[in-house]
């Protein structure tokens, strides 16, 4: 990830309870009890993103001594990796009895935006986005406050569950004499492959500077789907806060509907399947207040 200044969109505090790992410990009044069991539920989502260009040939010249092409940026979009977790467990840790409706805290997010791309280019102030927030050319959206729920364990409906996902909305593609293939164990090094994504390997005027396979069937970034598209050359003032909220919800819903690619551990034919996720994730727990 490129280095640069960072801006943080800090959600409003709600519940005042945060955790970094393990169980959330909820403040209580009076002496804690060891009664239970309790049903404790957690959910979080992290989105790692790089904005990448999609280009087209806008002009070209050719004669017997030289040739050149010009390109224009038609659109920019995101190459996305996500991690998500969900956990429901039975615990006996000390709490005073919750109210009949239980205890809940919503899931909140922070945008950790990087001001420059991996080559050091900047595209405007990160504060130029709507409401002073832009995702910039790259960065990470983190769960600053996880979804948390606690209530009495109900053996008639509750079962312990532990789910996790590392999924992608891109893969690494290369051509071959028998059609295109996906490349294994290469996603991270290709997430910033502007040249490979800008114009595809099978298009006229291709940008083909391979980062991994230095041969005629070189590998390149292939974004799967069009995520947070912005028309023309990118600048931070194109961004809106509602588009960021919608992106988070859409990517959360892709977890619920099992619609992510896993990183292949070896080369194979065609596009990796989009079948990864878990149904327990819910965007109804997201809070943008």
* 243's tokens: 């588009």
How do residues 128-155 score in pLDDT, each as one tens digit? 887 788 999 999 999 999 999 998 899 9
Check residue 204 and give its pLDDT.
63
pLDDT reading at 201 higher than 80: no
How do residues 30-86 score in pLDDT, each as one tens digit? 344 446 788 999 999 999 999 999 998 888 899 999 988 888 999 999 999 999 999
* 40's tokens: 């404790």
Report which of residues 192 and 199 the model is more confident about: 192
Check residue 42 and give its pLDDT.
98
Q: For CA atoms 75, 128, 136, 107, give the dihedral sign.
A: negative
Who's near 23: CB < 8 A, 6+ residues apart? 40, 91, 93
How do residues 12-36 score in pLDDT, each as one tens digit? 333 322 223 333 444 443 344 446 7
For the segment 264-283, the average pLDDT, to the nearest whole number, is 96
Check residue 203 and give its pLDDT.
62
How do residues 88-142 score in pLDDT, each as one tens digit? 999 887 666 656 568 899 999 999 999 999 999 999 999 988 778 899 999 999 9
Q: Are strands 147-152 and 38-62 parallel, antiparallel or unpaired?
A: antiparallel
pLDDT reading at 209 higher than 60: no
Domain ranges across the chain: 6-285
Check residue 39 and give its pLDDT.
93
Check residue 118 and give its pLDDT.
96
Q: What are the contacts of 23-30 at 24+ separation with CB within 8 A?
A: 23/91, 23/93, 24/105, 24/146, 24/148, 25/93, 26/95, 26/103, 26/148, 26/150, 28/95, 28/96, 29/96, 30/96
Q: Which residues of 36-53 are buried (b: 16+ CB within 10 A; e: fewer)?
A: bebbbbbbbbebbbbbbb
Percent of the chain past pLDDT 90, that is, above it, reads 63
């Amino acid at each position: 990830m490129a280095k640069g200044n960072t801006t943080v969109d800090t959600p409003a505090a709600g519940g005042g309870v945060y955790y970094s790992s393990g169980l959330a410990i909820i403040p209580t009044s009076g002496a804690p009890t060891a009664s239970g069991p309790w049903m404790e539920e957690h959910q979080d989502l992290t989105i790692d993103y790089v904005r990448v260009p999609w280009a087209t040939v806008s002009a070209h010249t050719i004669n017997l001594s030289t040739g050149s092409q010009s390109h224009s940026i038609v659109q920019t979009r995101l190459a996305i990796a996500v991690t998500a977790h969900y956990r429901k467990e039975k615990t006996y840790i000390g709490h005073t009895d919750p109210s009949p409706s239980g205890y809940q805290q919503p899931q909140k997010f922070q945008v950790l935006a990087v001001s420059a791309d991996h080559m050091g280019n900047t595209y405007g102030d990160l504060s130029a986005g709507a409401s002073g927030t832009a995702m910039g050319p790259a960065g990470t959206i983190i769960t600053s406050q996880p979804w948390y729920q606690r209530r009495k364990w109900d053996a008639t409906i509750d079962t312990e569950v532990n789910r996790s996902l590392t999924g992608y909305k891109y893969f690494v593609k290369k051509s071959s004499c028998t059609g295109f293939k996906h490349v294994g164990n290469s996603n991270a090094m290709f997430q910033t492959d502007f040249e490979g994504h800008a114009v595809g390997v099978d298009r006229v005027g291709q940008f083909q500077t391979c980062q991994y396979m230095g041969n005629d069937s070189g590998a390149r970034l292939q974004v799967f789907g069009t995520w947070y598209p912005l028309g023309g050359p990118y600048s931070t003032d194109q961004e809106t806060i509602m588009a960021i909220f919608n992106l988070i919800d859409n990517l959360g819903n892709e977890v619920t509907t099992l619609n992510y690619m896993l990183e292949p551990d070896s080369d194979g034919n065609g596009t990796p399947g989009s079948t990864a996720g878990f149904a327990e994730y819910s965007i109804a727990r997201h809070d943008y207040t």
